[in-house]
Structure formats: structure tokens, C-alpha cells
Chain A
Amino acid sequence: MAFLSRLLAARAPAREAFPSFSDGPPVSAVRRPHVLVVDDETLIADSVAAILNRNGYDAVARYSGLAAIEYLEKKRPDIVVTDVMLPDLDGVHVALTVRKVLPQTRVVLFSGHVSTTQLLELNSAAANSFELLSKPVHPAQLLKALQPAD
């Protein structure tokens, strides 16, 4: 476990993802995008958060839909990455809540389940389209997906 906690704790320098500019504010002053990672598989939630923290994000992991909602009310994450299948509230519900209370926040869903596609089709019909990544997502792929669209 010591190895695991060392892995999760290690952080890469922020400049890898967000290179600083000499005429800009100091590195420490650049606000790292705040990410909420939600997955009932704690290993996944933690490892994704760790990867993001190592790549210039400020990520926090939560392990249930309710915990995620609770967190949303206190903090205002820039990005929410959530699994679709959660034991209490499903990820789509979380995503819809985010869309309602934090319209500026990006929502990325990821799932290993078949029915997700259908669930999303329903939502896109309601003009609530979300980004979707299917599990397993390679970290490189995830980082690429989270980069700003421009």
C-alpha cells in the first residue's frame, strides 16, 4: 500500500500541461482547473484524480453520487468526470444536476456499460448532450479529452 499511496501522491510539475509565460502571472498564481472525479470504484477515482493532479489539474475524488452532489454545493469544480453507473444516484443524474446548478462546468461521463449509449441518446434528445468516454479510457486519452476545445 505504501507503493500505491506514493504513486497517488506523486505530482508532476504543473507546467507540463500549462506552460507559464514570463509576462504572465507567477506559476503559483495560475489557477489549476478544479476537477471532481466520481466513481464508486475507489481505485479508479483515486488513480484518475492522481493522474489529473500530476498533469496540471486540481482533482478531488468522490465515490458516490450523493457525495458528489454534496461536494458540488460547497465547491464549484470546473470539470466533473463521472462514471455513469453509481450505486446511489447514477452519473447522468449527477451530470444533469451539474448542468442545472453550475452551467459553466464541463461534464464528462465515462462508462463500461452497454446501456449508457441509450441513456445518452435519451438525454441528447432533451438537448442535454454530454461528452462520453467508454471504459477503459487510457490516461493519455483522458488528458487529451479534458484539454480545452480551442
Chain B
Amino acid sequence: MHKLYMGNRQKAPGQQFITPSSHSVQFYEDPEVFLEQLAGFAGAAVGAGGCYLVLATAEHRCSLQQRLARRAIDLRMAAAGNRFIALDAREVLTTFMVEGWPNRERFFASLEPQLLRARSARLRPDAPLSAFGEMVALLWEDGHREAAVHLEQLWNELLGRHSFSLLCAYPIACFAHDSRDDLFARVCREHTEVMPTEGYTALQSDAERLRLVSTLQQEAAVVRAVVEERERAIAQRRHAEEKLWRSEEFVRRIIESGVDCVMILDPQGRLEYISPSGQQALEISNLSNFLGRSWVEFWKDEDRPRVEAALAAARAGGIGSFQGDCSTPQGTRKFWDERITPVRGNDGQVEQLIAVARDLTELRQAQQIAVQAEKLAAAGRMAATIAHEINNPLEAVTNFIYLARTTPDMPEEAARHLEVADRELTRVAQIAQKTLGFYRDTSKDKWLHVRELVEDVLLIYERKMRNKQITAEVSVDPELRIYFKQGELRQVLSNLLVNAIDACASGGRIWLRAHASTDWSEGGEDGVRFTIADNGAGMSPEVQKRIFVPFFTTKANVGTGIGLWVSKSLLEQHGGSLRFRSRQGSPSGTVMSFFVPGNANLQVHELPRSA
């Protein structure tokens, strides 16, 4: 507990310094008033034959000296006799501060000699020895407040060793911002006497003192309430700001991490924003070229009425949606599912439109592929049905032709005709079996005679090749076998052969080869490599780039555009691969080469090379 210091002016000037050791603190508002008071103390001490040690700023020292001079104190003589020692507070601080903290040894080394010097300079042994210091105030003002408190403790230690009275002073404004910690209280606790600022020292009576204390208490209560209110408001605002920031961040992350293309349009339909994923999807590298432009313009003419309708719906406060084609600036055709929603301002007016577009290109392609696959499957089912329906009449006709041929006494010419009919019918039967039986047994792997398989496929297209006078050279070891799905391998071979035939001009040539091989790209897997080469026209680089793209075809009237894509997919599904080389000019041609891993590699090699 500290009692309020009341009216040291009323005490006899020398009296307070006679007490063995005292450590007082003076808070002040106006340095002028304080310095005047200090001049009084110093003048009294010096006048009484004592010594005054001042550790102050240059400004305060100067002011103090002027004030002492006005009090007719002969400072020059006092200083010469070491009875008035004025030191620069900041300079002394530097003698013992180490890394922002008062060093105990250095403190004593710096100040104890000064004190001893002052003590021995007194005119009489009972003359006062006093000191004034504002190093703590400097530390405090510099923000080293813990260091200031520690320095007060060091002073107390020095006061224990030597009997003198010490006065510290802080401008009260130093503590204006100190509301959260108890440092002010700790500063007070380090002192034997606490003197309030000048407004509270010149009190006449206890009644006045109590009134003043009450007033102060009331003011403090008001201030505390205001501060608390303000802190609550600040906390609330911080909370709200954080919430807002989080929600903005959340929305931003959703928009930026989504795959959808998010655009913001003004009510007139001009682009204001495109999300990063949107820019990527639209292949936009320079966004500024697009901002401010009318969004409708990006759509194809035939889609524009639907775009306008969707915009109108969103402007009217509803949700507009449509699907349409919109090519990227790079020319990639994409198919989008658009959804436009309005953003309203506080007044309820539509301020912006948000257009979220989902790229359905791949989905639509997949759907088209699925439709195509379903068509193929349907074709397969139909083929099986047709095969069954055709085989019976074929059987019957074959039988009757046989019977007619073997009828005794058949005229020779008729017999010859029947023989041709029988041969042709045999071909029909074979072709029906090969083509319509195409979709059979695709489900299981089995050992396949590669040569037979190749010949089967050639048989299907024999007529086609004959009509174009194409010759095929086959080079397949008759013993070569592979463990694979027959239907699929036959389909791949057919697809590639048809392409080769279509590529050939009349009189062209096709080479079909198959040999046991090792695919080193896949860690040395054994299997069979098939090569189908033609001396046809070859493919342009543009075509070469796209041949594996589904529904890409150069044969718009007859092709489905999925042959190569299906072949590649089938092979890759089983760990195989399909690649090609093609050139135009002279000589021209295309070589398609695919590798089929033979699950049981050893057998491929163990088979005898030739019969």
C-alpha cells in the first residue's frame, strides 16, 4: 500500500533527506511545474551543505540549472565542490545496459563511485545526500518497461548499501496506454513514497483529499467502462471481420478449386470476372482481352437465342440455364452446361449475374461412345440372330445342290453350273460364319493359331481386295500361337486391314506379318508383334495427330471413326500397344504395328519354329 504523498512542500526542505534511505517517485503532467519543484529540492539540499546528484536529460539539466541560478544558488561552486553532480541520463544508461537489460555489475560499477564522490563532498556528515534520476522514465518511454522496473530494483539495492534519498520521476502520460498489465502498480511498489501529479499534491485538507479520491474513482470507473465497451466493440468487429474474411476466403477457394468455369457478368451481360479454372478451361491466357466484352458474343449464332433467354431469366431474378457449343479462343470445341443466377444488392436490384459453366465435352463424347458401343452390341446381337436364321436355309440349299449334282444322268453342263453354284455357296457359308460369327466367344482368352486368324480375316475381305486388285503378302509362322481373346484380336486385325485396303490405290499392296517378339518398353514382356503395312497414300501430319480420337474419320460416308480408337483401347486394356508410321509423297504408305502380350510367353517360344 502506498500512501498518497501529500504536500512535501509543507515539510521543512531538509527533513525528508535526513531519513536514512528513501525512494520516492513523482508523477507529473507538466515538466515545468515538476522541474520547478525539483529545483526547490536540489536548492535546499545544496543550500544545507549537502550534495545533489542529478541523472537527467540534457534539456531537463539545462532547465534545472537555470532555475537554480534564479534561486541564487552558486552552481559553479557547488559543481566544483562535487556538491551538484549533473550527469546525462542517457549516457549513464549506456554504461550498464546490455541488450536492452540493466546489467547489475555494470550498474554498480557506474553509479556507486558517483554516489561515494557525492557523499564525501558534503560539507557536514549530517548534510543531506540526495539524487534525482529519470533513467527509468527514459527506459519506460522507449518501451523497455520491464527493464525500467528492474532498474528500480537495482536502485533499491544501492539504497540498501548506501544511505541517501532518491527521487524518480515519470511523466504520467507514460502510463496512458498501460491498461492491461500491472506494471504501473509494480513501479509504485518499488518506491517507498509515491507522489501523484501536481494537480493532486497541493491539497489543503483531508476532506478535499477524500473528495478528490472519490472523483478520481468515479472517473476511473467511467474510463474503465468506456474502455471495456470499446474493447468489446473492437472484439466484435474483429470477429465480424474474421468471419467475413473467412467466408470470402471460403467462396474464393470454392471458385478457384472448382473445375467449373465461374464467370461474373454485369446486368448488361458483360464479363467482369472469370475464375482461374474457367480461364484454364477456356484456354484464356490474357484475361484483360475478354473482360468488359459481351458474353453472348462468345456463343455460336444458333445458340445465342438460348443464351439471351437464360440471361433474361437471371435478370428477372430466376435461374437461367442452357447447353451449347462454345469454342475456346484456341479453337477447341467444347460443349457447356450453363447455369446463370442473379446476385442482388441491398436494394433488391440485380447487380451481377453469376454464370457457372460445366464442361460437358468429355461426358458427351463418352455418351456418344456409349451409344456407339450399344449400336455395336445391337449389331452383334443382330448378327448372331441373322447367323442362325441364315445357316438353316444355307444348309438346305447346299444339300439340295448336292443332291441335284449327284443326280444320275445329270447333263454335263447343268452339273458344271451346279458345281459353280456349290462353290459360291461354300464361300457364302464361310463368309457368313466369319462375319456373322464375329461377335461370338469374345469373353475368354484361349490359344489362337495366329496364322489361321490372319487368314480368316483376309478371307472376309478377299472380295474387297480382289475388286481393287490388291495383293496381300502374309508372313506368319504357322506354328505361332498366342493366348488372347479371339474376337478382339480379330476385330483389331479387321480394323487395321480395312484401313489398309481403303488406303490402297487400285493394284496396291498390303503386307501382313506376325512374329514372336519382346516388348522392351514394358520391361521385356514376351508376346506377338503384328505389322500391317500398305503402300497407300499415307496420312498427313494433321490426320496422324487425330487418328486415335474417337469419331474422327476421313471416310465420312462409310467410317464410324472409332475403329482405331477401339483397337488401341482393346490392346491397351490387355497391356498391348498400337503405334504407326506414315508418310505421303514417294514412296508413300502406312505401317501399323501392334504388340499383344502372350500371357504364357514360354509356350510362344517353345512352339517349333516350322512344321
Contacts and interface: CB of A to CB of B under 8 A. Distances in A.
A139 interface: yes
A117 B440 CA distance: 10
Interface of B: 384, 387-388, 391-392, 394-396, 398-400, 402-404, 406-408, 426, 429, 433, 437, 440-441
Interface string A115-140: 00100000000000000001111111
A139 B408 contact: no
B438 to A, nearest CB: 11
A41 B388 CA distance: 13
Nearest to B437: A114
A113 B388 contact: yes
A6 B399 CA distance: 14
Given A10-B407, A54-B403, A138 B441 contact: no
A49 B295 CA distance: 79
Nearest to A48: B399
Contact of B394 (A47, A48, A50, A136): A136
Interface residues of A, number: 25
Contacts of B384: 114
Contacts of B437: 114
Given A112-B391, A114-B440, A117-B441, A7 B404 contact: yes
A138 to B, nearest CB: 6
Contact of B387 (A112, A137, A139, A140): A112
Q: How would you classify the secondary structure of chain B's contact residues: helix, strand, loop or mixed?
A: helix
Contacts of A140: 402
Contact of A41 (B387, B392, B402, B433): B392
A50 B400 CA distance: 9
A148 to B, nearest CB: 21
Contacts of B395: 41, 44, 112, 135-137
Nearest to B394: A136
A50 B394 CA distance: 17
Nearest to B390: A112
Given A114-B384, A136-B398, A138-B426, A12 B406 contact: yes
Contacts of B387: 112, 114
B408 A10 contact: yes
A8 interface: yes
Interface string A1-36: 000101110101000000000000000000000000
B408 A7 contact: no
A140 B395 CA distance: 12
A43 interface: yes
A51 interface: yes
B403 to A, nearest CB: 5
A143 to B, nearest CB: 10
Contacts of B399: 43-44, 47-48, 50-51, 139
Q: What 10 A-B pairs are tightest by C-beta distance, nearest first?
A: A112-B391, A47-B399, A139-B402, A136-B395, A135-B391, A136-B394, A43-B396, A7-B403, A136-B429, A135-B395
Nearest to A137: B395
Contact of B398 (A10, A12, A112, A138): A138
A114 to B, nearest CB: 5
Contacts of B407: 6-7, 10
B35 to A, nearest CB: 116
Contacts of B441: 117
Interface string A47-65: 1101100100000000000
Q: How would you classify the secondary structure of chain A's contact residues: helix, strand, loop or mixed?
A: helix
Contact of B403 (A44, A50, A112): A50
Contact of B392 (A12, A112, A114): A112
A132 to B, nearest CB: 14
Nearest to A42: B396
A138 B403 CA distance: 11
Nearest to A139: B402
Nearest to B395: A136
A113 B384 CA distance: 8
14 contacts: A7-B404, A12-B406, A41-B395, A44-B396, A50-B403, A112-B388, A114-B388, A117-B441, A135-B392, A136-B398, A137-B395, A138-B402, A139-B399, A140-B402
A31 B406 CA distance: 23
A41 B396 contact: yes
A33 B404 CA distance: 23
B31 to A, nearest CB: 111
Contacts of B408: 10, 12
B55 to A, nearest CB: 111
Given A43-B396, A114-B384, A117-B441, A10 B403 contact: yes
Nearest to A112: B391
Contacts of A50: 399, 403
B386 to A, nearest CB: 11
Contacts of A54: 403, 406
A91 to B, nearest CB: 14
Contacts of A112: 387-388, 391-392, 395
Contacts of B429: 136, 138
Contacts of B403: 7-8, 10, 47, 50-51, 54
Nearest to A50: B403
Name the residue in A4, A48, A51, A138 with the highest tally of chain B Cβ atoms < 10 Å from its Cβ: A138
A137 B399 CA distance: 9
B59 to A, nearest CB: 112
B414 to A, nearest CB: 12
Nearest to B399: A47
Contacts of B388: 112-114
Contacts of A117: 441
Given A12-B406, A54-B406, A138-B429, A7 B400 contact: yes
Contacts of B440: 114
Nearest to B402: A139
A50 B401 CA distance: 12
B394 A135 contact: yes
Nearest to A143: B402
Name the residue in B394, B400, B429 with the highest tally of chain A Cβ atoms < 10 Å from its Cβ: B400
Name the residue in A7, A136, A138, A140 with the highest tally of chain B Cβ atoms < 10 Å from its Cβ: A136
A13 to B, nearest CB: 9
B406 A47 contact: no
